Chain A
Amino acid sequence: MIVSFISAPAIYFWQTDRSVTAEIDDRWIDAGRVDDLPIDQWREEMLLFQRQDRWATFEQKELIYIHRSAQDITVFSAICPHAACLIRKNDAGFGCPCHKSSFASDGIVLAGPSPRSLDRLDTKVQDGRLYVKYEKFRPGTKTKEMVG
């Protein structure tokens, strides 16, 4: 009883002190010139950007897969929706090395434990350049919950 009262402030702090996520408004990250993207081909791209978390600013490196067709551009986060391992491109589409989930080229789960299809990221084209809204989603859930 006494112990729980003494530890309450510490537990409250740990429970409520969370890395800032939703407050960052400008998440659009430059992913290069649209014309440089080959048509009808998957490209592995590393996004480099800075992110603020509490007191620190970090250089962040995140992997994405970009596909440009004649009409539109598809971007997938390389983070597997199952347990957050990094997926790899293969002949059928994508595969995860950790628990062997596999995905079709449109991101739909073909086999394995992944609870949802690959996380598609929002894109916009401005002045001939591709911008990707880089977000992370909670792994292991059916619905996409943005967490960072």
Chain B
Amino acid sequence: MRPLRRIITVSAIASLLFLGLVILSGWGLSGSYVPSLTDAFPATLYLEKYSSGGHLLRSIHYYSSSGLVFSGFVFLCCFYISGFAAKYRKTWILGVVLYLLIVGSAFTGYVLPLDQNAYWGTKVRLGIVETVPLVGTAIADFLRGGATFNSATLPRFFTLHGSVLAAAIFLCLFLLIHSWKSVFIQYLSDQRFNVTLLVSIILFFILIIRFSAPLELPADPADVEYNPRPDWYFLWLFQFGKYVEWAPWIQSGVLPLLGIGFLFAVPWLRNHGQKRRSAIAVSWCLGWLVFTGLAIIDDKDLPGNPNYSEGMAIGAEKNFNRLCVDCHGPGGLGDGPEAQAFDLPTPDFTAREFWNNIDEQQMIIAVRDGKGNDMPDFSGSLTYEQILALIHHIEKSFKPNYQE
């Protein structure tokens, strides 16, 4: 009994801490985010790459929400096993509602960066929502603001994620804290507890600054090569769906209804001993593990999707071969077929003198605006980010003694 109580306490505190971090980092992120089809990705890229604290904020938001999904699950499991669910019905129901709201927030927040993963992942999930019997299509259309991905989709998901669900979460949180007021006061007035909490937050920040929240190339609805995959906590449902393709309503209707129905009914179910409850909880976890494992095994041969900088580097190589080789040559020597007719010599990218006399800014300007009579401007065909990646590609491939 004792260790179980400990886990309940720790997971509850961890969940509240993660929830606080998610909310506050979310407020931070929304300070520089625009939910629009054209601006969502550039805004996210700005946060990740060009702003001073956006990278850390994104990491905190991403990993805290993953942590929250995990710690909330542990809390509910142990709360159920210990038999508290029947004893503290109100807490259990609030906890379940809070957890469902959190999963809903994860669902709606997923699309916001509008990179490949966000776009395709959300498309697959909305596809699953559409197969809910009777109401599925209506719900999906309501969320999207139409039958396909459109201008209103991001504003709607952003509103649900940042306002509607967040407000509901605040309400649950308030009620939860209110009914355990004395316990909270007791904890918060304990010096040792406060110090531990503070140290763990700092440790979490230090740990997390090394990782970054994933960001892939901007969403491309016409990319045939992309393999959409859901987040780790939705993998099991994705895998389960593969086995019931002939009846998708089992995946989207029956299973969630049974699961959620069970969670809400728990406090009123006949209270059959801790052993029996442990067995039920363990079999749920095992089921989750098996399906997640099967999903990972199924996908082990799939090539991973490139992240933003990898994707840009691949694109840069293609762009070099498409736009530059005719003059600059495949080896960057300036010996391309077109270059023979030029009055001025085309520079040799492998020569040390070339790199001594130029910096990155000058190269960006040369590619963007063109140079002399022979080098055309590429401002129309390449974005700033693509020019930057192209220059990195040239440096990496040709510059003598190149170091990252």
Contact = CB atoms under 8 A, between A and B. Distances in A.
Do A and B come together as binding partners? yes
Contact of A99 (B38, B146, B220, B242): B242
A140 B248 contact: yes
A55 B224 contact: no
Interface in A42-88: 46, 53-56, 58, 61-63, 78, 83-86, 88
B152 A85 contact: no
Interface string B10-53: 00000000000000000000000000011000000000000000
A140 B142 contact: no
Interface string B214-229: 0000001111100110
A86 B223 contact: yes
A46 B224 CA distance: 11
A91 interface: no
Contacts of B221: 61-62
Given A98-B228, A138-B137, A148-B146, A113 B246 contact: yes
Contact of B152 (A15, A17, A83, A138): A17
Contact of A88 (B38, B124, B224): B224
B69 to A, nearest CB: 24
Interface string A91-105: 000000111000000
A19 B150 contact: yes
B141 interface: yes
Interface residues of A, number: 32
A17 B145 contact: yes
A97 B224 CA distance: 9
Contact of A14 (B37, B142, B246): B142
B392 interface: no
Interface in B242-295: 242, 245-246, 248
Interface in A12-62: 14-15, 17-19, 21, 46, 53-56, 58, 61-62
A98 B124 contact: yes
A15 B146 CA distance: 9
Given A18-B141, A21-B146, A56 B224 contact: no
A26 B340 CA distance: 48
Contacts of A62: 221-222
| Chain B interface extent, by class | 20 to 34
Interface in A93-122: 97-99, 112-113
Contacts of B150: 19, 53-54, 148
Contacts, number: 78
B156 A14 contact: yes
B146 A19 contact: yes
A85 B222 contact: no
B127 A83 contact: yes
A136 B221 CA distance: 13
B307 interface: no
Interface in B39-92: none
B145 A136 contact: no
B147 interface: yes
A17 B144 CA distance: 10
A8 interface: no
A84 B147 contact: no
Given A54-B151, A85-B124, A138-B137, 17 more contacts: A17-B145, A19-B146, A58-B37, A61-B222, A78-B224, A83-B128, A84-B123, A88-B224, A98-B228, A99-B241, A99-B245, A112-B245, A113-B245, A140-B131, A140-B248, A148-B147, A148-B150
List of 5 A-B pairs having minimum Cβ-Cβ separation, nearest first: A147-B147, A19-B146, A113-B245, A19-B150, A83-B127
Interface of A: 14-15, 17-19, 21, 46, 53-56, 58, 61-63, 78, 83-86, 88, 97-99, 112-113, 136, 138-140, 147-148
9 contacts: A14-B145, A19-B150, A21-B146, A84-B123, A86-B222, A113-B246, A138-B130, A138-B147, A140-B130
